[in-house]
Amino acid sequence: MKEIISTTNAPSAVGPYSQAVRVGDWVFTSGQLGLDPQTMQLVEGVQAQTRQALTNLKAILESQGLTLDHVVKTTVFLQHMGDFAAMNEVYATFFPSHPPARSTVEVAKLPLGGLVEVEAIAHE
């Protein structure tokens, strides 16, 4: 049985999808942009957007009593692979030890003109 997850501490969905879905001990998040949940505006720059996207993911997980330590896999979407080092610098601060598995891909375009989007799979 799946449970739809929604928290006001992360941006509301900008389309017909859920912030996350829980199935048993697993939580699957939708991709999070660097949107400020209060203003629903993108913050400026790839590092700030990475920080905000990961903060949004953290808020979704916390709404389920989980932390970033429960994340087993992330996928990072970058508009420009040239931003990899800048994104990675911020990403490392959220996963300082025992980071999850990760894929990082360059995409042609992200919603709302975002520079980075991050999704996660967590296990309780």
Q: What is the pLDDT of residues 3-57, one digit of tens each?
A: 999 999 999 988 899 999 999 999 999 999 999 999 999 999 999 999 999 999 9
Cα 35 from Cα 30, distance rounded (Å): 13
**Structural domains of the chain, count:** 1
Residue with tokens 């629903």: 40
CATH number at residue 35: 3.30.1330.40
Q: Please say whether the beta carbons of 19 and 117 come within 8 A.
A: no
Q: Left if phi > 0, otherwise alpha if psi is -120 to 50, otherwise beta: which for 37? A: alpha
Q: What is the pLDDT of residues 51-110, one digit of tens each?
A: 999 999 999 999 999 999 999 999 999 999 999 999 999 999 999 999 999 999 999 999
For 101, the domain range is 2-123
